Chains A and B, each alone.
Chain A
Amino acid sequence: MKSTCLFFMLISFLSWSQNKQILYGFSEIPQSLLMNPGGKVTNDWYFGIPLLSHIHVNAGTSGTTVYDLFANDGLDFNLKLGKAIYSMQANDFFTVNEQLELFSGGFAIGSSYNKDQYISFGMYQELDFIGYFPKDYAILAYEGNQSNINRVFDASDFSARGELISVLHVGYNKKVNDNFTMGVRGKIYSGIMDINSTKNRGSFVTVNGTNNFYDHIFNLDLQVRTSGLSAVTDDNVSSDKVVSDIKKGLFLGGSLGLGFDVGFTYQLNKQWMVDGSLQDVGFIGHSKDVENYGVKGNYVFEGVNPIFPETGSGQTAEEYWDEIENEFEDLFEVDTTNTKYTTWRPIKLNASLNYAFGKKRDKECNCLPDDDGYQNAVGLQVFTINRPKQPQMALTAYFFRRIFKGLQAKATYTIDSYSFSNIGFGLSANIGSMNFYIMADNFLEYQNIYNAQSVSLQLGFNYIFKKNED
């Protein structure tokens, strides 16, 4: 009970998503190929500065913000807590997504006069968590069952998953013709840690009874599956061992899985362009260090019925009571198994429609304008991610501008589960061959970061080589 309460609180703090709406389609940044392997390639080769080439954190809550709960406003904390519990729904969620690129690179291949293919590769580490607000559990803990007779508490309200993985990937991009580019990226996942509890079923309800005041009806089918967790939960394990286990897991020593990304870009005419991609179509087979916990059973409790002695010889209700205790123990007994299991990666779908305009007027050069000749672009992007309860969607409108040579900026406006007022901004700057980019969203909320429903930040450094610098 206590740890349940603590868990509610913890997930309320760790409220974080994983849309990278600013990076998507930002073809000057090599990492945009990770979002669409069939995106446009604008360099001949590049490598990411190790550990610094792509740092991404993204956090969001569709419900109560940290500020709602912890503002130093003199209001009673418990009133605020109650308000948060009642205002949130079971579909409200908290997510965290973090990625760190360990290394990456890419190079064009093909005939020397027409390098129409591009190989990119790399390795990144990713942490992904989503937890839904366990509304019915929270209400039960907050109110008890006295004021909730006949209310069915839904056990499926508890739904969460988290994973720590590393991904080794190689992508192939081919410019099929002047208008069409496509690409695919193969991925090997190494699951370092995984915990998921997304298929809980059942209910608890107290109804008016016949033999006694109530019938307490338990119907539970709960399951938590974990892999790689004992490395950190086992008390006897030293921190050195934990670090070495994580390192091993990072470099394909964990539970392995396979997946792919696929995408395309199609130039409708000089100014209009559509693209789309699917990311992380794949699975991880959890086989290492698997521990699963399950609680399953049905029981109706209506109190203890002492069997009064038939003969007055002192026979007691002990046996009957033992039976009830056994029933309860059976019901709540946690079955621990080591059965291997498979998780699917959260599939992401991206698509966008883009319009470029405003040609650069170059007085000195009379060279042929390539398709980068437009200085501005506007467009609409759609992002969808498959989540345990239901997919999450985001719609983004953007404005892209080449400010001057080697400096591009993109501003976005996004509508999603978190808010209708998400303004994002990103910059990519090239100084010689060094590329630096930084992007963040929810700028309107930065006046008070604790009140943000979601924040997202990406930055990185690359070394980019272009033969035909524009």
Chain B
Amino acid sequence: MQKSVFKYLIIVVSFALATISCTKDVDFNQANDILLTPVFESDLVYINVPANKFLVEGHEVLNLKDSVNIDFFQDEFIVDYLVKAEFMLETTNTINRAFTVQVDMFDAFNQLQHTFSFSSGASPNNGEVVTQHIEVFEGNSLVALKNTTKLVFTLTIQPGEPINESTPGRIILKSKGTFYLNIDSLL
């Protein structure tokens, strides 16, 4: 008698567990549809030079040039997921001379991949002349960006009122990059 009750009990319990623990329709393949679209912003370069920086041994130089080696854009994560980028450059000029900012982007073999430039007007009364430039990297220019390992910045002073040790004003450059990512896989 007791044995049959026990058997009966086991059957009832397992049957109950098997039937009541049902599930509704789920689809784990949805994980493959994942798309994260974060947008990151990062500072790039900044420059803050007084007018007399353009004097070398008493003589005016027209070009200030410098380069930055960077392997960030070749990172596998960036190569895979970066779909768009924007460089925003902003200059504030208080020198009574116009100037041009040129950015040249080179790959590992020193081949020019992309270049862009913009100009700022002079500041006759040393008030702030603010100029903004946004360079968008999409399509071919995005490919160029992902090849880039070196950035060369050139600041070229346009002709005008000569600069001496006491020439007032300065050039300020701020820049940031906006990086649009589409992360569509987890592995």
Q: Which residues of A contact B (CB under 8 A)?
A: 1-2, 5-6, 9, 66-67, 69-72, 76-78, 81, 140-147, 149, 206, 209, 211-214, 216, 301-312, 316-318, 321, 406-407, 427, 429, 431-432, 434, 436, 438, 440, 443, 446-451
Chain B residue numbers with a CB within 8 Å of A6 are: 186-187
The chain A residue sitting closest to B90, CB to CB, is A213
- Whether A146 contacts B2 by the Cβ 8 Å rule is no
Q: How far is the CB of A255 from chain B (nearest CB, A)?
A: 32
**In the bound complex, do residue A447 and residue B22 qualify as a contact, i.e. CB atoms below 8 Å apart?**
yes
Interface membership of B48, Cβ < 8 A: yes
21 residue pairs bridging A and B, Cβ less than 8 Å apart: A1-B77, A2-B186, A2-B187, A5-B186, A66-B26, A69-B30, A71-B24, A71-B25, A71-B26, A77-B31, A78-B36, A146-B178, A213-B41, A301-B42, A303-B176, A306-B66, A310-B56, A446-B20, A448-B23, A449-B21, A450-B24
Other contacts beyond A70-B31, A216-B43, A321-B70: 7, CB < 8 A: A71-B25, A141-B183, A144-B39, A146-B39, A147-B39, A304-B44, A450-B24
Total residue contacts A-B, CB cutoff 8 A: 177
Which one of B23, B33, B41, B45 contacts A77 once the chains associate, using CB atoms below 8 Å? B33
Chain B residues lying within 8 Å of A301, measured Cβ to Cβ, are 42-43
| B155 CB to nearest chain A CB (Å) | 7
**Contacts A78-B34, A142-B36 given: A432-B2 contact, CB under 8 Å?**
yes
Task: Tell me if B187 and A67 are in contact (CB < 8 A).
Answer: no
Tell me whether A144 and B38 are in contact (CB under 8 A).
yes
A275 to chain B, nearest CB (A): 28
B77 partner residues in chain A, CB cutoff 8 A: 1-2
Query: Which of A67, A427, A446 is packed against the most chain B CB atoms within 10 Å?
Result: A446
Q: Is B170 an interface residue (CB 8 A)?
A: no
- Which residues in A have their C-beta under 8 angstroms from that of B46? 211-212, 302-305
CB-CB under 8 A from A317, the residues of chain B are 66-68
- CB pair B45–A306 under 8 Å, yes or no, is yes
Interface residues of B in 40-72 (CB under 8 A from A): 40-49, 53, 56-57, 61, 64-70
Are B36 and A306 in contact (CB-based, < 8 A)?
Answer: no
Chain B 8-39 interface 0/1 with A at a Cβ cutoff of 8 Å (1 = within):
01100100010011111111101101111011
CB of B187, distance to nearest CB on chain A (Å): 7
Main secondary structure of the interface of A (DSSP, over half): mixed
Set B26, B35, B42: member contacting A70, Cβ < 8 A:
B26
Q: Please, which residues of chain A bring their CB within 8 A of the CB of B33?
A: 76-78
How many angstroms from the CA of A261 to the CA of B46 in the assembled complex? 63
What A residues does B26 contact at CB under 8 A? Answer: 66-67, 70-72, 450
CB distance from A50 to the nearest CB of B (A): 20
- A residues within 8 A CB of B69? 318, 321
Tell me the complex Cα distance, A69–B26, Å: 9
Q: Is the CB of B176 within 8 A of A431?
A: no
Q: Tell me if B174 is interfacial: C-beta within 8 Å of chain A.
A: yes
- Contact B43–A212 (Cβ < 8 Å): yes
A308 touching B20, Cβ below 8 Å? no
Tell me the nearest residue of chain B to A12, going by C-beta. B31
Interface pair B44/A451, CB less than 8 Å apart:
no
Asked if A309 and B10 make an inter-chain contact with CB atoms under 8 angstroms apart, the answer reads: no
Most B CB contacts (10 A, CB to CB) among A70, A149, A308, A311 go to A308
Q: Which chain A residue shows the least CB distance to B12?
A: A427
- Point out the residues of chain A lying under 8 angstroms from B65, CB to CB: 308-309
Nearest 8 Cβ contacts at the A-B interface: A303-B43, A144-B38, A306-B66, A431-B6, A212-B46, A77-B30, A72-B27, A146-B39
Judged by a CB distance under 8 angstroms, whether B123 is at the interface is: no
Q: List the B residue with the shortest CB-CB distance to A438.
A: B13
Q: How far is the CB of B115 from chain A (nearest CB, A)?
A: 17
Given contacts A213-B174, A309-B64, A431-B5, contact A303 B45 (CB under 8 A): yes
Q: Which of A72, A306, A321, A431 contacts B47 (CB 8 A)?
A: A306
Check B38–A141 contact: CB distance below 8 A.
yes
Alpha-carbon distance A306/B173, docked complex (angstroms): 11
Q: A70-B26, A72-B26, A143-B38 are in contact. Are A304 and B6 (CB under 8 A)?
A: no
Contact of B186 among A9, A312, A443 (CB under 8 A): A9
Residue among B13, B34, B41, B185 with max Cβ neighbours from chain A (10 Å) = B41
Partner of B66, one of A140, A141, A213, A316: A316
Q: Are B3 and A427 in contact (CB under 8 A)?
A: no
Contacts of B174 in A (CB 8 A): 211-213, 303
Q: Are A407 and B66 in touch, CB under 8 angstroms?
A: no
**B22 and A448 contacting across the interface, CB-CB below 8 Å:** yes
Q: Which residues of A contact B158 (CB under 8 A)?
A: none
Known: A212-B176, A449-B21. Is A9-B2 also a contact (CB below 8 A)?
no
State A206–B40 Cα separation when bound (angstroms): 10
